[in-house]
Amino acid sequence: MTSALAEGYTATMNRHATLSLKVNGDEREVAFAPHKTLLEVLREDLALTGTKHGCELGECGACAVLVDGRPVLSCLMLALECEGADVRTIEGMQEGAQLHPLQAAFADLGAAQCGYCTPAMLLTAKALLDDKPSATRDEIRASLSGVLCRCTGYLQIFDAVERAARILAARDREDHV
Amino acid sequence: MMRCPEFRYFAPDTVEEVVKILAEEGPRASLLGGGTDLVPNMKRRQQTPAVLVATRRVKELHNVENDATSARLGSGITLARIAASPTLRPWSALVRAAAQVATPHIRNTGTLGGNLCVDTRCNYYDQSYEWRKAIDFCMKKDGGVCWVAPGSPRCWAVSSTDCAPALIALDAQVELVSKGQTRIVPVAQLYNDDGIEYLARRPDELIASVRLGDPTGWRSTYWKLRRREAFDFPVLSVAAAVKLEGDRVVEARVVFGAVASRPVVADVSALIGNRLDDASIERVADSASKLAKPLDNTDFTLGWRKRVAKAYVSGALKELRGDDLETLGLLARRQSMLRVLS
Amino acid sequence: MSDNPDKKVDEFNLVGKARRRVDARAKVTGQARFADDLVLPRMLHCKLLRSRLPHAKIKSVTTDKARAAAGVRLILTGYDTPVPYGILPVSHDEHPLCTDKVRFVGDPIAAVIADSEEEATAALDLIHVDLEPLTTISDAEEALRIPEPRIHDYGDEGNLHKKVAFDFGDVDEALRNSERVFEDVFFYEGNTHLAIEQHATLAAIDDAAGPDGRLTVWSSTQTPHYLHRALAKALELDPARVRVVAIANGGGFGGKSDPFNHEIVVAKAALMLGRPVKICLTREEVFYCHRGRHPVLMKLRTGVSLDGKIKGMELQTLLDGGAYGSYGVASTFYTGALQTVTYKVPRYRFQGCRAFTNKPPCGPKRGHGTPQPRFGLEVQLDKIATALKLDPADLRLQQLVEPRSLTANYMSVETIGLGECIRRVVDGSGFRARRSGGKLPTPGDIAPVRGLGLACSSYLSGAGLPIYWNDLPQSGVQLQLDRSGRVTAFCGATEIGQGSDDVLALCVAEILGIEIADIKVLTGDTDLTPVDLGSYSSRVTLMMGNAAIEAATRARDLVAKAVSDKMGVPVEKLRFAERRVTFIDDPARVMSWQDAVILAEAKHGTLGTTGSYKPPRSAAKYKGGGVGPTPTYSYSAAVVEVEVDPVTGWYDVIKVWIGHDIGRALNPPLTEGQVIGSVYMGLGEALMEESTFRRLPPKLSGALVHKFPSMLEYKSPSTMEMPPVEVFLVEDPDSRGPFGAKEVGQGPLLPMMPAIANAIFDAVGVRVDEVPITAEKIARALDAATKGRPARVGPTKFPAVAWPEALKIAPPWEGGDGTASNDRPKKERMARPGEVPIGDAPIIRPEVRR
């Protein structure tokens, strides 16, 4: 792949690039118009429409996904830049048929109203708790500051992240017993 | 959905390959770091580079080498990495500037080099192609007039980098590499006072690294004004650094961001040899803030931004003399949210 | 109508208990499908070419080059869609694509339908539009001054769309007899909904639906029924051949409650091409759809006695309506209608005027027309309290409207929990003891100052009348009972995030004594569900809830009859709970819900019931009295604490205490979520949100553009700006609401803006009589004070308006009967009593051009 990239891709709509990446744990090979961002490839070429868009300019955060475990804006990342990346979208957040504790807490505490920013909020919160399992409310607030929500006023989202953190911590303790 | 125009894409592995492509393609090529500035500009057709040269595969651009007395930061390192780095804490102004860029998501991909080169901003320019067409475009792209100052022969778009004022206050240098040549210049010299030709970097040059000097004895900070504590570009910022011997100032630098087309260095020589007492701080804040001459092309009214400029210089210097941020008013408390991030 | 509103929460099976909402799982797993998530085989993409001039005649549209461009399948212009439409019958003034004129930057002129969005976008630039510029009207005061050229050929005069005037009693006399008269002029800047989802629509011909197919439109709409009507009208289709599906909606707030040009355009294209056509607006285009908060200039004169009791009130409003009618006539009435429902106003005069201007059309945003005058009223009351040295809470508490009473303008108040809301927020915040007192800072002070402000409000639980005149139910619910015990509830109501699907499931499950999991809801689909008018005016919980209770009660009666026959016990002795039907006198005699349903189906045949709801008739019989009535009002009170920097005027909101008179909280986390979400949106309006426009120097350019149609520069609060909120739900069940419930989605927004203005005054002694309330304005007012001028920022003058003769309506306590003494005879009027009055606007069917 190195040489192909080094020689240059011509990003026209009619010619397709292909790349290999990991999406929600699965190795995927995807062909796409090379000018597309990761957002467009996820939604249009991989049919993963759980990733939303509200501006496509990096101004709302609705398109956040995890790339190599870190929350990034898929609307600003050219898909070509994702060769070999490990991408996680909302479709890959559940633990089998079970909701991830964050998803369950969001569902139970009113943290999802219209649900449109919810995938971005959930993935961002997951990255936070993966990194800081006992994040404080200020840390939760700061880490979610890149995703706008117009329905909830955020407070029930903070509550849900805190509840999920407690559940994950309890589960962690059980695992170590 | 806003989408990118077409382009040719290269992702070379070495600095040599990068600068070779830049030399061949000239101004048609754009460097692609995190893409957080370039991609939206491409979607709005403010920039339509024929060639993108991605730097993500160039390992040496992602290195950080530092010890207690110096640092060399690869231009490809992310802003998040700077904000979280314990070893860069002595260069506090930079850490604070990086930690306040845009949002956590954007800091996870946005790079140091990208922030230094961030396009100048203006709310007649940062608009879609269709919007700009409705005002018959502007001088910076596709048009002839600067709508901020219609009689002006130049473009007044605003320098919106957070890191540059901090780095200038820290007297940092950048390493510019082109085919067969490397030059090291002070960060201040990277910028021209022009909204269009705002970078003194030649199109064939790559910012390879940023060099930071000995922080011993220095204290530095960065205060950023914006309406929201996330997303927003600076509409005024103050980077300040002082070197103290005992309680006397021996060196000092104060730099404004987002008040002109380039970072503006204030004359603070009046501080030298003095204590950072209220009177000398007020004197310097008064004279320095006169340099801040914002125009009506960003958020907030210009008169108010000028007023805050003075409060910011004074607040930043008081912080450097050791005052608790909590005692420095509400705008200082906004800076203190940084404690959460670091 | 309601089922035992006086029950205690623990007497209910499900009502009042915190519970995961029915649509939560789909929303947290990414499975909820929004309009732009839909993809159909052979789907094409649509983009709109929009006007770059604010006001111009269309001389020609040349599309040859675009037609020949790669991937282009169809170009539509105004010629293809000549029939006008609009949300209100009195203002069918929009065309799917402009025909003869463009009226604002962003008005759509042509549509390109192509294989890909990229190709459609590229072809836009190949269309040539020849425009002849016309004089631009940039705001309401300009519209008053410049009657010609007219933006529309209809309306009350020149560029004034609508003028209304009412006298409820002799207000001049009341003001003359007042010990003090307070006069203030306020301005409330326009702002927008900014739902995170951009509007999107997919249209397709469903070949399976019959020999000629059927048009199906999936759209991010709050009002599928009104869209259904608009599509049928504008496309001249038999409505029976049109299906509208209100798909998962990524936020409404009023911004998706008009039928939109893009919805009609893709439907037209699908009909012409026989292929699915989708459009998803860019964020910038969403700003052009707008229908957001009207900018309103207001003058308020209130006469009071020395103890602060209101004797009479006079309100004038001037609305900047933008380029089209939208809901504007209703918005105009709403700027006056609810001023009387919180505090007793013995005599009231209201004069309102809406202007057309060359900007995106304004319409209904959360609170529709009422936050602006509410801001004025609550700030003025604070000034009155200061001037008369009264406590702001006591000033209000002493003159609250009585429950079950009529106001001066014949609004019928049922329960009113406002007093309790005030007491809770005042006690919770320590309001009385902790106020700073409104002192100006001493020069040189740099320490931040805290202040507390109080404000109250009220809102509708659904508009009393539908948007078009009819005698039909406003909400219908149909139930289908399956042998498995599963009950499917069908309703045209539209889930936009507020939780209406959950309310539907809850109402049915509660009455039948079964679990939420036993209910399947199917909503917002005009082919499958009975009509509900849509998610606007906070109507759904009350209206759909009552319809659902009626349908479920009928279903329970059918099942009860079968069980009673089988068990040989009286119907009244059966209890429905915990998925069982139990004989109350002998709980051992019990039958599972599923068995009971099977028994009932055997007895009655296939089981299905319906329920419907129509609000009670209003007492306001005068022309224009149709806007404002509701089955019952909700009430809110808020205290906000701020901290202000006396040097720069910067302020932080430290905390919000909000009390909301909800009647009954059906699912408390959802109820609280609506309160907090409203507080958030109100904070956004108070702190930073504004839709402002840029007019370039007219010597150089005719441009009038939205200053920042983007998520970055139209500022909306992030997590970092959201303060803690303490919510007090005041539950005084209202017999008109389902299980006693009233509205919650809009009312709690209203007190935020005035509470902040009042808190700023309390902290630093300056008045910002404008929204948004920014640091810059506070700093200006502080500067004014140091120069010896009034410590105030805000408008000073209300322009002269040639008001029409006021309708004279005597208040109930002066012998009135709800009619106007000088109204035209009923026969002459086009409107029926109580209806939104129909103006004399001719429906426009302009000359078409290619």
Give every CB contact of residue C196 below 8 A, 6+ residues apart in sequence: A52, A54, A60, A62, A114, A116, A117, A148, A149, A150, C250, C251
pLDDT in tens, C13-24: 999 999 999 999
Cβ-based neighbours of C670, under 8 Å, separated by 6 or more = A110, C21, C499, C502
* Tokens 């929201």 sit on residue: B228
* C529 plus C649 within the same structural domain: no
pLDDT digits (tens, 9 = 90+) for A19-29: 999 999 999 99
Residue of C362, C210, C373 lying closest to C293 (CA atoms): C362
Give yes or no for A37 touching C (CB within 8 A).
Answer: no
Separation of alpha carbons A44 and B19, rounded Å: 35
Q: Do C416 and C357 contact (CB within 8 A), yes or no? A: no
pLDDT in tens, A56-105: 999 999 999 999 999 999 999 999 999 999 999 999 999 999 999 999 99
- Report the pLDDT value the prediction gives residue C11, as an integer from 0 to 100: 87
- Are C490 and C445 in the same domain? no
Domain-embedded: residue C498 = yes
Tokens of C714: 């139209």
**Homologous superfamily of domain range A2-92:** Beta-grasp domain (3.10.20.30)
Question: Is B27 a domain residue?
Answer: yes
Residues of B in contact with C779 (CB under 8 A): 304, 307
Interchain CB contact of B142 with C (< 8 Å): no
Which of B292 and B109 is assigned the larger pLDDT? B109
Give the total number of structural domains in chain C: 3
Confidence class of residue C4 from pLDDT cuts 50, 70 and 90?
A: low
Of A60, A89, A104, the CB nearest to C196: A60
Q: What's the rounded Cα separation, in Å, for the pair A92 and C31?
A: 11
Measured in angstroms, the CA of B8 and the nearest CA of chain A are apart by: 4
Is C344 a member of any domain? yes
Q: Which of A5, A71, A145 sits opposite B229 (nearest CB)?
A: A145
**Distance, CA of C487 to CA of C51 (rounded, Å):** 50
Residue B315: list chain C partners with CB under 8 A.
Answer: none
Q: Do A142 and B341 touch (CB under 8 A)?
A: yes
Q: At what angle do helices B278-289 and B302-321 cross, to 10 degrees?
A: 150
Same-domain pairing of C176 and C305: yes
Where in C671-732 does DSSP place strands (E)? 693-695, 704-706, 725-730
Is residue B120 a part of any domain in this protein?
A: no
State the Cα–Cα distance between residues C43 and C612, nearest whole angstrom.
Answer: 38
CATH number of the domain that residue B274 is part of? 3.30.390.50
The C-alpha of A110 sits at a distance from chain B's nearest C-alpha, in angstroms, of 24
SS3 state at C638: strand
Share of chain A above pLDDT 90, in %: 87
CATH code of the domain in which C371 resides: 3.30.365.10
Of C794, C795, C781, the C-alpha closest to C651 is C781
Tell me which residue of A100, A5, C63, C232 sits closest to B57, measured CA to CA: A5
Q: Report if residue B229 sits inside a domain.
A: yes
Strand order in the sheet with B29-32: A9-11, B7-10, B51-54, B29-32
> Tokens for C815?
């012998």
pLDDT of C843 strictly over 50: no
Q: Does an H or E element contain B253, and which? A: strand B248-257
Query: Mean of the pLDDT values across residues A109-129?
Result: 98
A30-47: b or e for each residue (b if 16 or more CB lie within 10 Å)? Answer: bebbbbbbbbbbbbbbbe
Chain C residues with CB-CB distance to A89 below 8 A? 30
Report yes or no: B104 and B36 within 8 Å, Cβ to Cβ.
Answer: no
Residue A172 pLDDT grade (very low, low, confident, very high; cuts 50, 70, 90): confident
Mutate: best of B7, B304, B312, B314, partner C, most C CBs <10 A: B304
Q: Please give the DSSP secondary-structure letter assigned to residue C585.
A: T
Please judge whether A8 and B10 are an interchain contact, meaning their C-beta atoms are less than 8 angstroms apart: yes
Backbone conformation region of residue C419, classed left if phi is above 0, alpha if psi is from -120 to 50, else beta: alpha
- Specify whether the backbone of C675 is left (phi greater than 0), alpha (psi in -120 to 50) or beta: alpha
Q: Does C606 touch chain A (CB under 8 A)?
A: no
CA–CA separation, B112 and B118 (whole Å): 10
pLDDT recorded at residue C844: 46
Chain B partners of C648 at a C-beta cutoff of 8 Å? Answer: 304, 307-308, 311, 329-331
**Which pLDDT belongs to residue C728?**
98
Instruction: Say if residue C842's pLDDT is above 80.
Output: no
Contact C15, C671 (CB under 8 A): no
The answer on C766 and C631 residing in a single domain is yes
Residue of B nearest to A137 (CA): B340
Find the CATH number of the domain harbouring C262: 3.90.1170.50
Distance from CA of B72 to the nearest CA of A (A): 25
The one-letter code for the residue type at B303 is G
Q: What residues in A contact B32, CB-CB < 8 Å?
A: 78, 81
- Report pLDDT digits (tens) over C411-463: 999 999 999 999 999 999 999 999 999 999 998 888 999 999 999 999 999 99
Which residues, 6 or more positions from C427, have their beta carbon under 8 angstroms from its beta carbon?
none
Q: What is the Cα–Cα distance from C15 to C664, expressed in whole angstroms?
A: 9
Point out the least confidently predicted range of A42-56, C207-221, C250-264. C207-221
Q: What is the pLDDT of residue C311?
A: 98
Residues of C in contact with A43 (CB under 8 A): 37
Q: Which of A2, A7, A142 is closest, CB to CB, to B337?
A: A142
How far is C333 from C338, CA to CA, in rounded Å?
9
Cβ distance C190 to C292 under 8 Å?
yes
Q: Residue B64 falls within a domain, yes or no? A: no
| Six token digits for residue C34 | 């929004």
Whether chain C has a CB inside 8 Å of the CB on B68: the answer is no
pLDDT band at A173, cuts 50/70/90? confident
Q: Per the CB < 8 Å rule, is A49 touching C37?
A: yes
pLDDT at A13 over 90: no
Instruction: Mark which residues 4-63 of A lie under 8 Å from B by CB.
Output: 5-13, 34-37, 40, 53, 55-59, 61
Q: Give contacts of A 115-154 with C, CB under 8 A.
A: 115-119, 122, 141-142, 144-154
* Whole-angstrom distance, CA of residue C266 vs CA of residue C36: 13
3-state helix/strand/coil string of C371-432: HHHHHHHHHHHHHHHHHCCCCHHHHHHCCECCCCEECCCCCEECCCCHHHHHHHHHHHHCHH
pLDDT for B225-268, tens place per residue? 999 999 999 999 999 999 999 989 999 999 999 999 999 999 99
| pLDDT tens for each residue of B39-80 | 999 999 999 999 999 999 999 999 999 999 999 999 999 999
Tell me which of B313-327, C136-150, C388-402, C426-440 is least confident: B313-327
Any domain includes C151: no
How many interface pairs between A and C have CB atoms less than 8 angstroms apart? 170
The burial of B64, by beta-carbon neighbours within 10 Å (0-12 exposed, 13-18 middle, 19 or more buried), is given as middle
**How far is it, in rounded angstroms, from Cα C726 to Cα C564?**
48
pLDDT for C749-800, tens place per residue? 999 999 999 999 999 999 999 999 999 999 999 999 999 999 999 999 999 9
The mean pLDDT value for C610-615 works out to 98
Peptide bond into C772 cis (omega under 30): yes
- Chain C positions touching A54 (Cβ under 8 A) are 196-198, 283, 711
Facing residue for A35 by CB, picked from B5, B105, B108: B5
As its CATH architecture, domain A101-176 has Orthogonal Bundle (1.10)
Out of C563, C578, C613, pick the residue that ends a domain.
C613
Task: Say how many residues make up chain C.
Answer: 850
ipTM of the complex: 0.97
**Which of A52, A76, A117, A148 is the best substitution to test chain B (most B C-beta atoms within 10 A)?**
A76
Number of domains in chain B: 2
Helix (H) or strand (E) holding C680: helix C668-687
Average pLDDT estimate for C88-97: 96
| Mean pLDDT on C80-93 | 96
- Domain housing B22: 8-57
Distance CA C450, CA C644 (A): 6
Of the candidates C740, C751, C741, which has an alpha carbon nearest to the alpha carbon of residue C678? C751
Whether C578 maps to a domain, the answer reads yes
**In a domain? residue C748:** yes
Domain ranges of chain A: 2-92, 101-176
Average pLDDT over residues C260-269: 98
pLDDT in the model for residue C209: 67
Strand C296-304 versus strand C180-188 pairing type: antiparallel
Of C30, C196, C676, the CB nearest to A50: C30
pLDDT of residue C205: 95
Contacts of C137 by beta carbon, 8 Å cutoff, 6+ apart = C55, C143, C146, C151, C159, C355, C356, C357, C358
Residue B15 lies in a domain: yes
Task: Give the end of a domain, one of C231, C265, C289.
Answer: C289
Per-residue model confidence as pLDDT tens digits over C342-374: 999 999 999 999 999 999 999 999 999 999 999
| CATH code of the domain containing B43 | 3.30.43.10
Expressed as residue numbers, the domain containing C117 is: 39-133+198-249+256-289
Across chain B, mean pLDDT equals 95
Residue B342: inside a domain, yes or no?
Answer: yes
Q: Are residues C771 and C708 in the same domain?
A: yes
Interface test with B, best of A59, A78, A154 (most B CBs within 10 A): A78
Please tell me which of the candidates C29, C497, C722 has its beta carbon nearest to residue A90. Answer: C29
Q: What is the reported pLDDT for C701? A: 87
Q: Does C634 touch chain A (CB under 8 A)?
A: no
Tell me, yes or no, whether C376 and C506 share the same domain. no
Please answer yes or no on whether C712 and B231 come within 8 Å at the CB atom.
Answer: yes
**Residue C763: inside a domain:** yes
Structure tokens at C846: 């302009």
- Tell me how far apart the alpha carbons of residues B38 and C634 are, in angstroms, rounded to a whole number: 49
Give a yes or no: residue B256 inside a domain.
Answer: yes
**Where is the domain boundary, C793, C808, C837?**
C793
How far apart (Å, rounded) are the C-alpha atoms in residues C403 and C132?
58
Reported as a single tens digit per residue, the pLDDT across C790-839 is 999 999 999 999 999 999 999 999 999 999 999 876 544 444 444 443 33
DSSP for C725-738, please give it: EEEEEE----TTSG
Question: What band does B99 get if pLDDT is binned at 50, 70 and 90?
Answer: very high
- When CB atoms are compared, the residue of A54, A108, A153 closest to C676 is A153
Single-letter residue type at C298: M
* Distance from the B18 Cα atom to the nearest Cα atom in chain C, whole angstroms: 30
Average pLDDT, chain A: 93
